[in-house]
């Protein structure tokens, strides 16, 4: 773990947890635009951050440069943006990721949209903070296989890079920690919180269609879609782990997911609940990329999963009509914010 | 008289060493206590008051347990057998954490 002191980490957890408590139950929700019972679905304007990494313009700018610099990869041709590509919904449009030397990896590239609001990172939760996560793919031999000796030498021999680090983290030097902190600062700016759904929750009655409002009702109704049991307010994730019974769970040697971090029976085949914000931008879906469309996702959940061994107890057969499934899909499409323009940074050459 | 004193001492000792029972709620994806002090032999009942399934487990060296998953309204007990610190979590919702301090 990177040098984030205990107090700093505890503060993050408290900050993140505070806006997730006291969830309003379905029976108490009033489905009218702007209603008080729905306000818990609105995200804070900015994600929380650790005490030793308060974002500022210099940190975000340095993080952006590093995020897009392909020289970070072990072969000098792979950046964070190679997989977390802003023109592909901050993902890669592949069923599962391509890693070092284009080897196919076991899991899909997670979107980084709103990941700053998460209390735990990666499909199996093996990273706690964004700072911790940012360095993970670089250290993984199958992902970026970064040669840190070479990378730090490259940065240290560049007067532009050195100056950018000194502006961002005065006196802290160029090292793995400042590298991770800068990238995390940039990732905390990748936010989706102004979707038609958000506008409707704030009171704009025209922001969502009748079908989308009905889809929202079905989404939260525990006797219908039951989606919010895991995709909960406000970031459409419970930061939790569930085995949702994908077909690949029936493979001979399936990916055990969270079980590798928490060796408990319940966690076999369980993966972290992803956010659904901007979901229409990041097909294919699921941790193994098994669903090409949101309709296929709904079909999977309607059946209550394919392989039901060790299925999450929160999963059940839904028996939704085709129209109800389409209404939920229409609602999911209302969770996409207008994409913000992304300008590419000028990478330090000298 | 001597036997009466011994008998009364036994009764008093038994009375004061009776294991206590505690209840910890799981509500709004949080445990109702951040920390709980118990004695060896005490029993803690973990009650799920959320409208979905929770789990309770500990991988602590002091005591390992895994209560599986259970729905709203159900409760499962854990008897604490040894002194020490027991970190308790929900595997489904890892933000749910609490500590139980077990003393002699």
Domain locations in chain B as residue ranges: 19-103
Q: What are phi and psi of A104, to 5 degrees?
A: -80, 125
Chain A residues with at least one Cβ partner in B under 8 Å: 13, 16-17, 20-23, 25, 119-120, 125, 222, 229, 238-242, 258, 262-267, 270, 312-314
Residue A116, phi-psi category: left (phi > 0), alpha (psi -120 to 50), beta (remainder):
alpha
SS3 A39: helix
A266 vs B52, B91, B94: nearest CB: B91
Which chain B residues in 49-78 lie under 8 Å from chain A, judged by CB atoms? 51-53, 55, 57, 59, 66, 68-69, 71
A288 neighbors A107 (Cβ within 8 angstroms): yes
User: b/e map of B54-86 (b: 16 or more CB within 10 Å)?
Assistant: bbbbbbbebbebbbebbeeeeeeebebeeeeeb
> What mean pLDDT value characterizes chain B?
90
The H-or-E segment that residue B88 falls in is strand B84-89
Q: What are the angstrom distances between the C-alpha of A243 and each of A21, A124, A209, A310, B95?
A: 24, 11, 32, 7, 18
Dihedral over Cα of A68, A72, A77, A82: its sign:
negative
Question: In chain B, whose CA is at the least distance from the CA of A238?
Answer: B93
Within chain A, which residue ranges are assigned CATH 1.10.760.10? 31-45+193-333, 57-187
Query: Is the pLDDT reported for residue B12 higher than 70?
Result: no
Is pLDDT above 60 for A233?
yes
Q: How many other C-beta atoms can be found within 10 angstroms of the C-beta atom of residue A178? A: 21
Whether pLDDT at A350 is above 60: yes
Rounded Cα distance between A8 and A14, Å, is 10
pTM: 0.91
Q: Which of B50, B72, B91, B97 to mutate to test the interface with A (most CBs of A within 10 A)?
A: B91
CATH number for the domain whose boundaries are A57-187: 1.10.760.10
CB contact under 8 A, B69 and A265: no
Q: What is the ipTM, given to two decimal places?
A: 0.88
Q: pLDDT tens for residues A288-324?
A: 999 999 999 999 999 999 999 999 999 999 999 999 9
Which pairs from A21-29 meet CB under 8 Å and 24+ separation?
A: A21/B28, A21/B29, A21/B30, A22/B28, A23/A232, A23/A233, A23/B28, A23/B29, A25/B51, A26/A220, A26/A221, A26/A222, A26/A228, A29/A220
SS3 A203: coil
H-helix or E-strand containing B89? strand B84-89
Report the residue of chain B nearest A226, measured CA to CA.
Answer: B52
Q: Is pLDDT at B11 greater than 90 in this prediction?
A: no
Residue A348 has pLDDT above 80, yes or no: yes
Give catalytic status of residue A143 as yes or no.
yes
User: To the nearest whole angstrom, how far is the Cα of A154 from the nearest Cα of chain B?
Assistant: 39
pLDDT digits (tens, 9 = 90+) for A132-165: 999 999 999 999 999 999 999 999 999 999 999 9
Which top CATH class is B19-103? mainly beta
Peptide bond into A114 cis (omega under 30): no
Mean pLDDT of all residues in chain A? 93
Percent of chain A with pLDDT over 90: 92
Q: Which of chain B's residues have a Cβ under 8 Å away from the Cβ of A20?
A: 29, 95
CATH code at A31-45+193-333: 1.10.760.10
CB-nearest partner of A264 from B29, B71, B91: B91
Q: How far apart, in whole angstroms, are the C-alpha atoms of residue A286 and residue A304?
A: 15
Mean pLDDT of A277-281: 97
**Backbone angles phi and psi of A331, in degrees to 5:** -65, -45
- What are the Cα distances from residue A134, in Å, to A112, A129, A272, A337, B5? 11, 9, 17, 24, 70
């Amino acid at each position: 773990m990177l040098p984030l002191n205990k107090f700093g980490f505890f503060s993050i957890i408290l900050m993140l947890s505070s806006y997730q408590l006291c969830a309003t139950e379905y029976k108490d929700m009033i489905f009218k635009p702007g209603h008080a019972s729905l306000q818990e679905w609105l995200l804070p304007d900015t994600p929380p951050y650790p005490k030793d990494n308060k974002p500022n313009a210099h940190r975000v700018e340095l993080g952006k440069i590093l995020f897009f610099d392909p020289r970070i990869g072990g072969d000098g041709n792979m950046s964070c943006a190679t997989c977390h590509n802003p023109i592909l919904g901050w993902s890669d449009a592949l069923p599962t990721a391509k890693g070092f030397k284009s080897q196919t990896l076991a899991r899909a590239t997670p979107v980084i949209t709103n990941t700053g609001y998460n209390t735990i990172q990666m499909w199996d939760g093996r990273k706690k903070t964004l700072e911790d996560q940012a360095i993970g793919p670089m250290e993984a031999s199958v992902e970026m296989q970064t040669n840190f000796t070479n990378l730090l030498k490259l940065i240290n021999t560049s007067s532009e890079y050195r100056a950018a680090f000194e502006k961002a983290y005065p006196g802290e030097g160029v090292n793995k920690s400042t590298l991770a902190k800068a990238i995390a600062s940039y990732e905390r700016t990748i936010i989706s919180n102004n979707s038609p759904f958000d506008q409707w929750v704030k009171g704009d009655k025209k922001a969502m269609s009748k079908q989308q409002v009905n889809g929202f009702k079905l989404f939260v109704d525990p006797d219908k879609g039951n989606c919010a049991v895991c995709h909960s307010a406000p970031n459409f994730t419970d930061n939790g782990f569930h085995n949702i019974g994908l077909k690949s769970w029936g493979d001979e040697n399936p990916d055990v997911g969270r079980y590798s971090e928490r060796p408990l029976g319940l966690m076999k085949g369980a993966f972290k609940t992803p956010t659904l914000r901007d979901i229409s931008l990041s097909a294919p879906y699921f941790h193994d990329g098994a669903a090409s469309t949101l309709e296929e996702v709904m079909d999977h959940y309607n059946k209550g999963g394919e392989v039901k061994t060790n299925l999450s107890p929160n999963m059940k057969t839904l028996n939704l009509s085709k129209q109800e499934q389409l209404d939920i899909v229409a609602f999911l499409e209302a969770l996409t914010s207008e994409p913000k323009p992304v300008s590419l940074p000028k990478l330090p050459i000298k | 008289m001597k036997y009466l004193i011994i008998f009364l001492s036994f009764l008093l000792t038994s009375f004061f060493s009776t294991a206590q029972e505690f209840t910890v709620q799981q509500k709004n994806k949080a445990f109702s206590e951040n920390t709980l002090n118990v004695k060896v032999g005490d029993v803690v009942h973990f009650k799920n008051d959320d409208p979905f399934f929770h789990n309770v487990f500990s991988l602590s060296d002091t005591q390992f347990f895994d209560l599986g998953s259970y729905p709203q309204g159900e409760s499962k007990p854990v008897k604490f057998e040894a002194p020490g610190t027991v970190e308790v979590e929900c595997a489904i919702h890892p933000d749910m954490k609490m500590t139980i301090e077990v003393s002699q």
